[in-house]
C-alpha cells in the first residue's frame, strides 16, 4: 500500500522532492525512522535510516533533501570526509541554481525570458523554489560543512572551519557585502534580519555572547513591550552558548 501511495504521489506530480517513486518512498521511510516512535534501539533506527537515504539517492541522485540528510547522518556516524563530499555536491547544486536564477532575472528584465535548466526534472525546480523562499538554507549547508571540517585532524582544515563560522557570524552586522565566495556573497542580500540573527547563533562563543549582550542591554521599556519575544531570544542565545561550551 505504501508503494502504491508513493507511485500515486509522484505519478500525479504531487512530489516536490523527486520524480522517482522509489526515491520518494525510501526518503519517507528514513524520516519515519528518525522522528517516529522508537520501537527499536536508536542505533538500529539510525543505521536503517541511513540505509534508506542511501537507497533514495541510488534511485535518484538529484534528491537533494535526501542527500542533505545523508550528509548529516554521516557526520553523526563519524564519517566527516564522506559527508564533505555530499556537502560539496549540494553547494555545487546551489551555485548552479543561483546562477540560473540570476540569469533568469536578467533575461526577464530585457523581456526575452529564459527556460528552466533541466525543466523536466522536479529536483531543479524544487531547489530553485527553496532557495528563493528560504535563502538561509545554503548557509546551513555551509555551516554543516564547517562542522565536518572541524572534526578532521589537519590544522588547515580546522582553520577553514573557523573562517567559515566567523563569516557566517558576521552576517549579523546587516551589511549586504560578505567575504564569502559566490553564490553566498549574493544570496546574503536576500536574508532578512531574523535569518541573519538565527545564523549568527551558529557562530563561535564570542559571537553568541555579543548577541546575548545586545538582548540584555535593551532598555526596560522595550523589554517590557517585547517581553515574550525577548525571553524567547534570550533562551535561544543561552542554549546556543551552552552547546558551544559542551562541544569544547
Q: Is 214 left (phi over 0), alpha (psi -120 to 50) or beta?
A: alpha
- What cell does 188 get? 546574503
Q: Is 151 exposed, middle or buried (0-12, 13-18, 19+ CB in 10 A)?
A: middle
DSSP string, 158-198: HHHHHHHHHHHHGGGG--S--SSPTTHHHHGGG--HHHHHH
Torsion, Cα 142 237 179 104, to 10 degrees, reads 60
- What cell does 32 get? 519515519
Question: What confidence score (pLDDT) does residue 211 get?
Answer: 54
Question: Could you read off the pLDDT of 112-143 as tens digits, one per residue?
Answer: 433 444 444 666 777 888 888 888 889 989 98
Half-sphere exposure (CA, 13 Å, Cβ side) for 195?
14
Q: Is 242 exposed, middle or buried (0-12, 13-18, 19+ CB in 10 A)?
A: exposed
Choose between 33 and 69: higher pLDDT: 69
Question: Could you read off the pLDDT of 156-194 as tens digits, one per residue?
Answer: 888 888 888 888 877 766 666 667 788 888 888 888 877
Amino acid at each position: 500500500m505504501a508503494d502504491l501511495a508513493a507511485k500515486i504521489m509522484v505519478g500525479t506530480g504531487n512530489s516536490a522532492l523527486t520524480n522517482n517513486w522509489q526515491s520518494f518512498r525510501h526518503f519517507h521511510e528514513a524520516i519515519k525512522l528518525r522522528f517516529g516512535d522508537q520501537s527499536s534501539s536508536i542505533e538500529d533506527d539510525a543505521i536503517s535510516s541511513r540505509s534508506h537515504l542511501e537507497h533514495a539517492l541510488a534511485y535518484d541522485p538529484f534528491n537533494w533533501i535526501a542527500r542533505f540528510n545523508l550528509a548529516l547522518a554521516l557526520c553523526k556516524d563519524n564519517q566527516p570526509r564522506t559527508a564533505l563530499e555530499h556537502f560539496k555536491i549540494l553547494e555545487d547544486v546551489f551555485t548552479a541554481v543561483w546562477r540560473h536564477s540570476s540569469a533568469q532575472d536578467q533575461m526577464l528584465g530585457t523581456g526575452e525570458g529564459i527556460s528552466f535548466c533541466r525543466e523536466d526534472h522536479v529536483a531543479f525546480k524544487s531547489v530553485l523554489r527553496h532557495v528563493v523562499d528560504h535563502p538561509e538554507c545554503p548557509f546551513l549547508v555551509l555551516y554543516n560543512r564547517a562542522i565536518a571540517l572541524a572534526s578532521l585532524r589537519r590544522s588547515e582544515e580546522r582553520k577553514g572551519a573557523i573562517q567559515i563560522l566567523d563569516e557566517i557570524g558576521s552576517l549579523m552586522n546587516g551589511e549586504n557585502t560578505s567575504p564569502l565566495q559566490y553564490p553566498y556573497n549574493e544570496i546574503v542580500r536576500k536574508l532578512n534580519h531574523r535569518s541573519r540573527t538565527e545564523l549568527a547563533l551558529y557562530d563561535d562563543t564570542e559571537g553568541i555572547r555579543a548577541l546575548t549582550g545586545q538582548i540584555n542591554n535593551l532598555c526596560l521599556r522595550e523589554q517590557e513591550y517585547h517581553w515574550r519575544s525577548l525571553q524567547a531570544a534570550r533562551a535561544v542565545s543561552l542554549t546556543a552558548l551552552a552547546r558551544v561550551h559542551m562541544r569544547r
